Amino acid sequence: MAVKIRLARHGKKNAAFFHIVIADSRSPRDGRFIERIGSYNPNTNPATIELNNDSALQWLLNGAQPTDTCRRILSYKGVLLRKHLQEGVKKGAITQEIADQKWNDWVSEKEGKVSAKKSDLAQNSRNSKKAVIEAESKVKEARAEEIAKKKREEAEKAAKANAEANAEVVAEVAAEPVAEPAAEIESTEGEAPAAETTETKE
């Protein structure tokens, strides 16, 4: 029976996660499986991988063939390296102590890289949030400046209109007294001939 190490899909349409399973190569993707050895969630950053390394190693040594994605997952978790080291021990190329030492060194180095990546992602997230806040504050300041400018322009227009209205009122007020003396002169001229006629009659 051909045995494969592959992924079984679960979850929602746009938020799928996967179980890492040992299954017969002839069974459907989400069908029957022999054993579940872990899970893989690509929705997080970095991706969350839970894997039973010992069980995966045993299945690999027994001849199970991983799919491309599962091969990358096993390589990321170091299972393929352990398989390579164990084959070297079986052939007598290295001792078990050297294999274990190489494995432990690789694990510590990998954990350091993963923790560094997580810290970098956290720092980048903080920086991106800070940049977004700064951009929003700049937009807000520009909007407030535009509103203040419009208010100043409206106030200037209103002040100009008031000044023009006041100037018209002043001009009208200044023009009215000039017309009254002319009327008085006309009335005095009309009264003078009347007085002369009365004197001539006497």
* Tokens coding 84: 């390579």
pLDDT single digits (tens) 6-53: 999 888 888 899 999 999 888 877 778 889 999 999 988 888 889 898
Task: Indicate the domain borders of the chain.
Answer: 3-94
Say what the pTM is.
Answer: 0.56
Percent of the chain residues past pLDDT 70, beyond the cut? 83
Residue with tokens 């007598």: 92
3-94 folds as S16 Ribosomal Protein; Chain: A; (3.30.1320)
- Cβ–Cβ < 8 Å for 84, 24: no
How far, in Å, CA of 1 to CA of 103, rounded? 31
